[in-house]
Chain A
Amino acid sequence: MTLTRAQAEDFLFHEAELLDDWLLEEWADLYTDKSVYEVASPSCEDPVNADPDNTLFLISDRIDRIRGRAKRLLKPTAHAEFPRSKTRHMVSNVRVVSSDDGTTRTRANFAVFRTKEDTSTVYMGEMHHTIVEDGGALRILSKRCILDLNSLYNQGRLTIIL
């Protein structure tokens, strides 16, 4: 089965909801043992095709670090997220780019609003997902976020999950 736009949209909304509810381990469960979660550096010249093996990314997590990131961020010793940020993930303009053989590739626009203590910032851009069916459930094989930023001068850092 391949996904319709509406099904893909529902799935991406579900991922966003888990993140905004800080259900991070449930979020990590959306990923498979072969998954990657990546955020290209704002200065990256070709963020869609860049390879984190030879270019510095902001985030390039394989599954161990996806799970490790979720686990770490829930600890009070993850000082950067204690007290925790409030986040609001807005996902829009969802498009199914291609689908075959149980794999659906999507592109979507995103804006994530983050409030930490009394400072609010926004991370915006486009995200590319590859979604697969795995044991009867939908899972994310890869997610790459491409920020519409030239630096993190306004945001400072990136400690939430986009």
Chain B
Amino acid sequence: MALYDPVNSSLVDANPEKGTFRVHRDAYRSDEVFKQEKELIFSKCWLYLGHESELEKKGDFRSRRVGGRDLIFIKDKKGVDRAFYNTCTHRAAKICRVAKGNARTFTCPYHGWVFSSEGELKSQNASTGYVEGINDDGHLDLRPVERLEDYRGFYFVNFNPNAISLHDYLADARSAIDALCDQTEGRQIILSGDHSYTIRANYKLLCENSYDGYHLFPVHASYFDYLKDQMAGTEGEKLIEQALKSYNTAGQARALGNGHAILDSFVPTGRPVAQWLPSLGLDTKDEVEAKYASLVERYGQDRADYIANTQKNLVIFPNLVINDILSCTVRTIEPESENFIRVHAWAMGPEDESEKLRAIRLDNFVSFLGPAGFGSPDDIEMLEICQDAAGHTPLEWSEISKGFGKADDPLVAEGPPDDEIQMQAYWTMWDRVMRGIETLEEK
């Protein structure tokens, strides 16, 4: 099989005359490509770290792996959110070995060095033998991540000090995040609990899948059967049929710049904010409709309809997925190798929602989205059989042509929900970053 040569060839082959958009399968299966991605994608792009609501009290922390680096995300004792590399400046030992907690200081287990929540070295345990003032220049303080910025409470890190701002990087994905945050007059928070699991596939296969409308019917037929069984004999049954019939035409896939894209679609499962459907239960109708009325009042009819009624699958390049559908997931895809990923998923919801709607939101999540639900495991199975077969067959190219050519620049194209223009946007950005055409740096 051909080995990727980033200087002389591209793994993305877009041919407007033929109407084809192809991706070389080395992009999914080559260890060599993965090594380059670590350097060019995961060291240059903004990567999601966590949400501000996860750190409520001073000293609250989370330890996370982001782009192959173990980090500590902490609210320091003055209330400032920070991110440090999880390593002692003395001899490299990990100073934080639990996933979450609250701490005023971190003590390295190896030689007992103590660091404050602001990262300062407070004690070397026994400081005799070191010259006085050895840390006057701060080089033994915890190393902060090069860049840490947030957009509406979503914190991202960047390991490149010269990177463009998160604001510029997100481009029109900001308006998609706005549509999520604006659902509530209060704020969106990460709810209690999480899911962490693995998939034996390339991270880009899960990105593709996360907003792929084309796979919905073949992969999720058994889920729709289940929904129809649940709704049999109710007015919800007809709504399901209608929504499924109009799925391909009623929404839109839209590229949002810089490789980000969103799928706006209509799927016949109610949204706790703020689309009441019979599947949510009669006793929630008043509350959900009141939320809808509040949206109309705050944002006008069109924006309210968009916020309330569209199911949104958003992929922020290169590895953050926000599925704001029947429930809302925030999901990071952490590549361990070219064919193995860790997935970490959290449920998000408005802080001010009622117990009843919160319960429905979580129940919706568990029913479809988790690693034990009725949806995600079937997706995962597809990704693993793609990865497996791509690795042992001589076929060189994968076809991602559906809807190609709707715009001169794939980074800003749009099309119906079952197009592949969202993936074309992703791969176009990927190709530009990998080949150094786009550096994502301040000029």
Contacts and interface: CB of A to CB of B under 8 A. Distances in A.
Contact of A72 (B195, B225, B346): B225
A123 B365 CA distance: 22
A48 interface: no
A152 B197 contact: yes
Interface string B210-233: 000000000101110110011000
A58 B366 contact: yes
Contacts of B346: 56
Nearest to A159: B377
Interface stretch (A20-28, A35-43, A101-109, A132-140): A35-43
Contacts of A60: 362-363, 366
B200 A71 contact: no
A58 B222 contact: no
B31 to A, nearest CB: 21
Contacts of B219: 79
B372 A59 contact: yes
B226 A56 contact: no
Contacts of B128: none
Contact of A41 (B194, B200, B359): B194
Interface string A77-111: 11110000000000000000000000000000000
A3 to B, nearest CB: 29
A34 interface: no
Interface in B182-206: 191-200
A153 B342 contact: yes
Contacts, number: 114
Interface residues of A, number: 36
Interface of B is mostly: helix
- Chain B contact-residue range equals 35 or more
Nearest to B193: A56
A69 B371 CA distance: 14
B372 A158 contact: yes
A55 B199 contact: no
B314 to A, nearest CB: 20
B194 A78 contact: no
A79 B381 contact: yes
A55 B362 CA distance: 7
Given A78-B378, A80-B378, A43 B193 contact: yes
B181 interface: no
22 contacts: A41-B193, A42-B196, A52-B363, A53-B358, A53-B362, A54-B355, A54-B362, A55-B362, A56-B194, A58-B366, A58-B372, A60-B362, A72-B225, A77-B222, A79-B382, A151-B196, A153-B197, A153-B198, A156-B380, A158-B372, A159-B372, A159-B377
Given A56-B191, A156-B380, 8 more contacts: A56-B194, A57-B366, A68-B230, A79-B219, A80-B377, A151-B196, A153-B342, A156-B371
Interface of B: 99, 191-200, 219, 221-223, 225-226, 229-230, 342, 346-347, 355, 358-359, 362-363, 365-367, 370-372, 374, 376-378, 380-382
10 closest A-B pairs by CB: A56-B193, A80-B377, A53-B359, A152-B197, A158-B372, A157-B371, A151-B196, A55-B192, A58-B372, A79-B378
